[in-house]
Amino acid sequence: MAELSERRTDPNVLTLARKGVSLDIFSQLGFSGGLEIFHRERAALMSCSAAMSQDSDLVACILYVVAAECLTTLDVPWRDAKLTKRFIEFFDSLMPTELEAIVAHANFEEVFGIRRGARSARSLRRELLDRIYDYRSGLVHGGLTPTYYGLGSAVENGGIVRRALFSDFAEGAILGYLKSPRSSLIGHPAFEAPLAATA
């Protein structure tokens, strides 16, 4: 019993975990700013769960992007400013290794319409993030499009391969954030105004 009690309080023994990252989103509630972090993590996990249960690959992809975007959204009046820029900067710094794994996938060029060529890893990561965000925005604002896997490949129709890559993105985003919660000041009027004035 003494050994079990010691293991129960050992911080190295994780609670429910994924790929070695604790999924305990309640632990930071006692810290300053922890409630806002908790709300972001909870929203991301709930959105990801909803994505996994979707019959439609298109809806699942939208929700995977929403799951990630929850982590970038601040509870401030200017949260709607420079959404795409914040999304790209946030995830390029949070999860470069996971993004590069998506870029290295055999179907990357077909799914995202991006040619690797001799471009830098950073350039490819940032274009990938732009395409991911644009894909979500296009479906949200333009509505769903029909898919029929009998006429062409699943890749051409944004089927299971795209869904799997979007799932990998959302998982990497959530696990990266759980390991290193952060906020972005991109879009803040006082931060962005001087940059715009010098451009």
pLDDT at 149: 53
pLDDT single digits (tens) 27-42: 878 777 889 999 999 9
pLDDT at 8: 75
**Separation between Cα atoms, residue 29 and residue 8, nearest integer Å:** 20
pLDDT at 61: 95
Q: How confident is the model at residue 154 (pLDDT cuts 50, 70, 90)?
A: very low
Residue-averaged pLDDT of the chain: 87
Alpha helix stretches (DSSP H) within the chain:
2-8, 34-52, 57-69, 83-94, 96-103, 108-112, 121-142, 160-179, 189-198
Q: Which residue has the higher pLDDT, 163 or 156?
A: 163
Indicate yes or no: pTM above 0.85: no
Residue 48 has pLDDT above 60, yes or no: yes
Q: How confident is the model at residue 158 (pLDDT cuts 50, 70, 90)?
A: low
Residue 157 has pLDDT above 60, yes or no: no
Enumerate residues 6+ apart whose C-beta is below 8 A from 26.
Answer: 38
pLDDT at 195: 54
Which of 130-134, 169-173, 180-184 has the lowest average pLDDT?
Answer: 180-184
pLDDT single digits (tens) 50-81: 999 999 999 999 999 999 999 998 888 888 88
Of the chain, the percentage scoring pLDDT greater than 90 comes to 57
Q: How confident is the model at residue 197 (pLDDT cuts 50, 70, 90)?
A: low
pLDDT at 173: 98
